């Protein structure tokens, strides 16, 4: 193995997180490598989304640390995590209802041009943004009612597609997808799975949260299982150990 392949792009060490009386993460560690899909599995309430939010700057950790390329990083906000190369599709999506898909794409990224730019240039820039966002969403084969309509008017599947498309456009290092196909139909899910394979081929570390074991077996190089805030197992998913994986998730013999 080359040194680059051997060192994780993302490492979480002994992550601990409490919400009042709820101990959501109890010393969780994991590593993610470039060019692999890591499945993060667990029953509802296991702590998956909390871990994602601690990695992507939504929550601070109460204990433990996050390392990017071996460096300890303090990701105080989602914007800081994005700047560091972590793109996240949250389970609760975090799109701005009142903005269009394109505005959602670029919100907070400050590439629309500063306010002192002449109005005409800002306008051109907005057109370019619309085009790029539309092109990516088109690749997902999701039809939106109107591209310039606020996302509040769109279905769960359409919103999910916009969020996945946005992460794909800006992916540089680590892409985290928290149940990205939960609201999608078969055809749209297939597109998202293809996008995940593409992100992996481009050298990203992809962390995929899903309850779909078929998707896990098809795409994941490794799986980490959480149960009640603890990491309870790690294995290489295959058709043969699918049942073992499920019993790890639910904490019982199946
Ligand atoms: N913001 C929050 N405030 C209080 N409790 C939370 C919060 N987020 C998650 N929890 C609790 O933390 C635990 C783990 O939740 P979560 O990470 O969403 O699990 P999963 O994504 O695996 O279903 C649950 O008991 C949940 O109720
Ligand atoms: Mg969750």
pLDDT at 171: 85
Output the residue whose Cα is nearest ligand 1's atom 6: 19
Residue from 19, 91, 226, 230 to probe ligand 1 pocket by mutation (most atoms less than 8 Å from CB): 19
pLDDT score, position 238: 95
Residue to mutate (ligand 1; options 47, 177, 209; most atoms within 8 A of CB): 47
Domain range 34-58+74-250, CATH architecture: 3-Layer(aba) Sandwich (3.40)
Query: Is ligand 1 within 6 A of the CB of residue 210?
Result: no
Q: Which residues pair with 11 in a beta bridge?
A: 31, 67
Ligand 1 atom with the smallest distance to the CA of 229 is: 14
**pLDDT tens for the chain, residues 1 to 254:** 444 457 999 999 999 999 999 999 999 999 999 999 999 999 999 999 999 999 999 999 999 999 999 999 888 888 899 889 999 998 876 667 777 777 766 665 544 455 555 555 555 566 776 777 777 767 666 666 666 777 777 777 777 877 888 888 888 899 999 998 887 888 878 888 988 998 999 999 999 999 999 999 999 999 999 999 999 999 999 999 999 999 999 997 55
Q: Which atom of ligand 1 lies at the shortest distance from residue 50's CA? A: 17
Which of 45, 176, 210 has the most ligand 1 atoms within 8 A of CB, as the residue to mutate? 45
> Structure pTM?
0.85
pLDDT of residue 144: 66
What is the whole-number distance in angstroms between the Cα of residue 24 and the centre of ligand 1? 6
Domain borders along the chain are 34-58+74-250
- Cβ(42) to ligand 1 under 6 A? yes
Contacts 24+ apart (CB under 8 A), 11-15: 11/66, 11/67, 11/70, 12/51, 12/54, 12/55, 12/64, 12/65, 12/66, 12/67, 13/64, 13/65, 13/66, 13/67, 14/63, 14/64, 14/65, 15/51, 15/54, 15/61, 15/63, 15/64, 15/65, 15/66
Q: Helix 119-139 and helix 156-170: axis angle, to 10°?
A: 110
pLDDT at 167: 84
């Amino acid at each position: 193995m080359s040194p680059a392949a051997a060192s994780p792009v993302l490492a979480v060490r002994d992550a601990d997180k409490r919400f009042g009386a709820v101990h959501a993460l109890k010393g969780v560690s994991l590593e993610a490598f470039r060019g692999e899909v890591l499945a993060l599995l667990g029953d509802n309430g296991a702590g998956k989304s909390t871990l994602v939010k601690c990695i992507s700057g939504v929550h601070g950790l109460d204990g433990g640390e996050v390392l990017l390329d071996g460096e300890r990083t303090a990701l105080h906000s989602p914007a800081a995590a994005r700047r560091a190369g972590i793109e996240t599709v949250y389970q609760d999506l975090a799109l701005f209802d009142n903005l269009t898909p394109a505005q959602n794409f670029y919100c907070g990224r400050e590439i629309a041009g500063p306010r002192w730019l002449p109005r005409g240039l800002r306008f051109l820039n907005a057109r370019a943004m619309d085009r790029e966002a539309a092109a990516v969403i088109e690749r997902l084969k999701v039809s939106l009612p109107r591209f310039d309509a606020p996302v509040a008017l769109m279905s769960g599947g359409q919103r999910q597609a916009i969020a996945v498309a946005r992460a794909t456009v800006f992916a540089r290092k680590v892409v985290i997808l928290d149940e990205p196909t939960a609201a999608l139909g078969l055809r749209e899910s297939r597109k998202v799975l293809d996008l995940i394979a593409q992100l992996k081929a481009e050298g990203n570390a992809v962390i995929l949260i899903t309850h779909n074991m078929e998707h896990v077996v098809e795409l994941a190089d490794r799986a980490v299982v959480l149960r009640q805030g603890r990491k309870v197992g790690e294995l290489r998913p295959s058709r043969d150990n699918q049942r073992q994986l499920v019993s790890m998730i639910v904490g019982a013999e199946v």
